[in-house]
Amino acid sequence: MPIINDPHLFNEQSLFVDLEGVLGRRLYLKIEGFNFAGSIKLKPAREMVEQAERTGLVGPGSVLVESSSGNLGVALSMIAASKGYHFVCVIDPRCNPATAQLMEALGAQVDLVTEPHPVDGFLGARLNHVRELCASDDRYVWLNQYSNPGNWGAHYRWTAPEIAAQFPDLDVLFVGAGTTGTLMGCARYFREHRPDVRIVAVDAVGSVSFGGPPATRLIPGLGMSVRPPQLDESLIDDVVFVEEVDTVRACHRLAAGGYLLGGSTGTVVHGAMTWLEAHQARDITAVTISPDMGRPYLDTIYQPDWVLDHFGADAAANAASTADRDLLSDPGSRPQLPAAAPRTDSAALRSISQ
């Protein structure tokens, strides 16, 4: 094992789980939660801070500030602590309490925005708070994950090449869409290096990223209440929308197989399985990405009362629905992936996920 002298220097980047034993269908899951920050957000956090240091934007006395649903905040808390910067993280009530505690334990100041912006939701309210902080003191530096090229650049530099190296025969890559940093970094890399690989975005129902109507969402990580500035839809082939109840069911299904993973992992796994089923794509190499582990979700997704309150008794039964079980273990024929990769329109895509 390596010996490190900075927490961000350790990151397990080559671990993939073959989910066939759990789901009854081959789907490889890239695990990104094994590092000191506990999530994929270590990569963009490191890239954005190091770029800002190189350009002189950040230096001694700087106060980093960022709006985060949690994971980027934890990663920045860790990096700021290790490098000696102050850090203020602006969160909203969807942030897991355990995640906020983690940031505080790492020395960050956590500002909770309690009222959503009337049009732009909680994200709009968080960004307004960040702007107010920056206007109040010029030591504040907003890394701005929503438009910072270091966000997608980190995945272009690390995540996508890691997947490409492991799967020379990759057919489809499913990527969850939050800020779309992961999605855009992977899409750019594969468009340039392996244009035959299909890139399918997975988003939460209620997110407006791909033009859908806004709706309340409870699970952090994926989905946006304003359109992500980094998103370039011309780089992706398809979009799948996933209801939060299906996210919860998929998480429970994975946990029943011994894999306790985060909410967005349930979303991308359900989205990938739905897409593969709709395209009758069995004998292909498909990969998706697990951004974090399940422990921070013990009070929500893995808490029966929380699930009962928000999604009803069926979901709380802690098992996939019959429909899911059929979907996940269908031993049907193995037709090849269709050759053409037209971008499916949103209405049709929404019907795929329902």
Between residues 246 and 292, which has the closer beta carbon with respect to ligand PLP?
292
Contact between 271 and ligand PLP by CB under 6 A: the answer reads no
Between residues 76 and 320, which has the closer beta carbon with respect to ligand PLP?
76
Contact between 272 and ligand PLP by CB under 6 A: the answer reads no
Q: Cβ 263 to ligand PLP, closest distance in Å? A: 7
Whole-number Å distance between alpha carbons of 80 and 49: 9
- In the DSSP assignment, the letter for residue 296 is G
Q: Cβ 312 to ligand PLP, closest distance in Å? A: 24
**Tokens found for residue 283:** 């004998």
Contact between 178 and ligand PLP by CB under 6 A: the answer reads yes
Q: Cβ 219 to ligand PLP, closest distance in Å? A: 9
Candidates 38, 150, 153, 262; binder of ligand PLP (CB under 6 A) is: 262
DSSP class per residue in 31-86:
E---BTT-BTTHHHHHHHHHHHHHTTSS-TT-EEEEE-SSHHHHHHHHHHHHHT-E
Candidates 63, 64, 72, 113; binder of ligand PLP (CB under 6 A) is: 72
Applying CB under 6 A, the span of 130-138, 171-179, 270-278, 301-309 interacting with ligand PLP comes to: 171-179
Applying CB under 6 A, the span of 99-107, 114-122, 175-183, 309-317 interacting with ligand PLP comes to: 175-183
Between residues 148 and 337, which has the closer beta carbon with respect to ligand PLP?
148
Contact between 62 and ligand PLP by CB under 6 A: the answer reads no
Contact between 73 and ligand PLP by CB under 6 A: the answer reads no
β-pairing, 28-31 with 16-18? antiparallel
Q: Which of 262, 48, 75 is nearest to 176 (CA)?
A: 262
Whole-number Å distance between alpha carbons of 11 and 151: 17
Q: Which of 178, 244, 251 is nearest to 217 (CA)?
A: 244
Between residues 52 and 204, which has the closer beta carbon with respect to ligand PLP?
204
Between residues 37 and 349, which has the closer beta carbon with respect to ligand PLP?
37
Contact between 181 and ligand PLP by CB under 6 A: the answer reads yes
Give the dihedral sign, CA 54/56/60/63: negative
Q: Cβ 165 to ligand PLP, closest distance in Å? A: 20
List binders of ligand PLP among 11-50 (CB under 6 A). Answer: 39, 41
Question: How many residues interact with ligand PLP (rule CB under 6 A)?
Answer: 19
Q: Cβ 28 to ligand PLP, closest distance in Å? A: 17
Applying CB under 6 A, the span of 20-28, 173-181, 242-250, 277-285 interacting with ligand PLP comes to: 173-181
Tokens 């129902």 correspond to: 205
List binders of ligand PLP among 276-295 (CB under 6 A). Answer: 291-292
**Tokens found for residue 144:** 């701005």
Between residues 28 and 156, which has the closer beta carbon with respect to ligand PLP?
156
Q: For the purposes of burial, counting CB atoms within 10 Å of the CB of 49, is it exposed (0-12), middle (13-18) or buried (19 or more)?
A: buried
Is the separation of the CB atoms in 188 and 152 below 8 Å? Answer: yes
Whole-number Å distance between alpha carbons of 39 and 78: 12
For 262, what's the count of Cα atoms within 13 Å in the CB-facing half-sphere? 25
Between residues 185 and 274, which has the closer beta carbon with respect to ligand PLP?
185
List binders of ligand PLP among 195-234 (CB under 6 A). Answer: 221-222
Candidates 11, 180, 225, 274; binder of ligand PLP (CB under 6 A) is: 180
Q: Which of 13, 65, 62, 63 is nearest to 40 (CA)?
A: 13
- C-alpha 191: how far from chain center: 20
Whole-number Å distance between alpha carbons of 136 and 3: 41
List binders of ligand PLP among 88-127 (CB under 6 A). Answer: none
Contact between 162 and ligand PLP by CB under 6 A: the answer reads no
Is the separation of the CB atoms in 13 and 34 below 8 Å? Answer: no
Binding site for ligand PLP (CB under 6 A): 39, 41, 69, 71-72, 176-183, 221-222, 262, 264, 291-292
